């Protein structure tokens, strides 16, 4: 079987299984198996695969046909140009979350030009560590903290941080939300990609998400906004007076989340669209610099 024949047959198979972009998925899996860039396949269409390569490729295609995510099969995904390892303990980073990371590092770098002291950032519910690592890589002077309730997620996040040489600059904290933050700590930036899928919608998600992403990282409660409420109520004492909170949220949640924040004395500075021009990122600051005690508590994302 040649490279081209393997691609054509596998593309047809994945298409019948309902996999999106079956040709691209096929090429990415074959390139992974052969340990070469995807575009190099186009120069080797007539190459005959060895029996071992054919068998290995069939196994990968079978797994993808069962709707196992490509990122789990190859073991990683790209996030802001960084290779991030993923598994079933963490949410696979989405492209729209890159916008949250970019918005965060722009803010931190602006602060560094105004103040000599290092800026500080907290990633609430870090998962794979992608947000914290991107901030650390793009803001060399920043001190970054990353909290998660899942010890398995934190173990993977630490490995990812080590891969990118920032493990010593990120303090990983295991615990339930802000209870895990160092006593008296305050941050210039709090970022979070919290669970925001309404509980009743999880069963209708694509199999790659529904069956492989941890539900703790998806389930945002009845309306998907449980963690928005928690952050709005609890994070003020952990934010510096001129600090910012930046949150990712789900489709159709912008106005409800804005109201939640405003009820807790936040000023919403911006609501930014994702690549599909859907509102996705909310930026907020306190209406005054008075610290408040944390209010009602809730669950922490994984």
CA 262 to chain centre: 26
Mean pLDDT of 221-248: 96
Q: In terms of DSSP bridges, do strands 239-248 and 266-273 run parallel, antiparallel, or are they unpaired?
A: unpaired
Please check whether residue 282 lies inside any domain of the structure. yes
> Do residues 111 and 189 share a domain?
yes
Question: How high is the pLDDT of residue 75?
Answer: 96
Minimum mean pLDDT range among 92-101, 105-114, 278-287: 105-114
User: Can you tell me whether residue 4 is helix, strand or coil?
Assistant: helix
Phi and psi angles of residue 31, each rounded to the nearest 5 degrees, phi first: -60, -40
159-173 pLDDT tens trace = 999 999 999 999 999
Please check whether residue 294 lies inside any domain of the structure. no
pTM for the complete prediction?
0.89
Please check whether residue 76 lies inside any domain of the structure. no
The token pair at 181 is 């933050």
Question: How high is the pLDDT of residue 116?
Answer: 77
> Do residues 105 and 60 share a domain?
no
> Do residues 152 and 252 share a domain?
yes
> Do residues 48 and 159 share a domain?
no
CATH code, domain with 201? 3.40.50.150
Mean pLDDT of 105-132: 92
> Does 277 score more than 90 pLDDT?
yes
Please check whether residue 61 lies inside any domain of the structure. yes
> Does 41 score more than 70 pLDDT?
yes
> Do residues 205 and 162 share a domain?
yes
Structural domain boundaries enclosing 242: 87-286
Find out whether 145 and 165 touch, Cβ atoms under 8 Å.
no
The number of domains in the chain is 2
CA atoms in the 13 A half-sphere facing the CB of 99: 19
> Do residues 109 and 146 share a domain?
yes
% of the chain at pLDDT higher than 90: 91
Of 30, 29, 28, 26, nearest to 13 by C-alpha is: 26
Mean pLDDT of 53-61: 98
Question: How high is the pLDDT of residue 11?
Answer: 98
């Amino acid at each position: 079987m040649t490279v081209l024949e393997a691609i054509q047959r596998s593309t047809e198979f994945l298409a019948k299984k309902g996999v999106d972009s079956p040709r691209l998925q096929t090429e990415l899996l074959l390139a992974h198996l052969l340990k070469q860039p995807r575009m190099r396949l186009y120069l080797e269409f007539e190459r005959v695969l060895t029996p071992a390569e054919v068998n290995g490729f069939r196994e990968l295609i079978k797994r993808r046909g069962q709707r196992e995510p490509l990122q789990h099969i190859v073991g990683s995904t790209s996030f802001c140009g960084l290779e991030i390892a993923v598994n079933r303990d963490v949410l696979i980073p989405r492209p729209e979350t890159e916008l949250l990371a970019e918005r965060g590092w722009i803010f931190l770098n602006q602060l560094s030009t105004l103040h000599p002291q290092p800026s500080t950032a907290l990633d609430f519910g870090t998962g794979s560590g992608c947000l914290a690592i991107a901030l650390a890589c793009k803001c060399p002077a920043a001190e970054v903290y990353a909290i998660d309730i899942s010890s398995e997620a934190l173990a993977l996040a630490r490995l990812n941080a080590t891969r990118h040489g920032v493990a010593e600059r990120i303090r990983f904290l295991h615990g339930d939300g802000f209870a895990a933050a160092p006593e008296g700590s305050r941050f210039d930036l709090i970022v979070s990609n919290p669970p925001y899928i309404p509980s009743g919608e999880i069963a209708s998600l694509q199999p790659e998400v529904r069956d492989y992403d941890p539900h703790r990282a998806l389930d945002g409660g009845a309306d998907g906004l449980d963690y928005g409420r928690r952050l709005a109520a609890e994070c003020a004492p952990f934010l510096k007076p001129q600090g910012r909170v930046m949150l990712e949220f789900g489709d159709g949640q912008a106005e409800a989340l804005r109201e939640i924040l405003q009820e807790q004395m936040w000023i919403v500075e911006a609501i930014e669209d994702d690549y599909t021009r859907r509102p996705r990122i909310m930026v907020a600051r306190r209406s005054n610099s008075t610290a408040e005690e944390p209010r009602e508590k809730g669950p922490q994302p994984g």
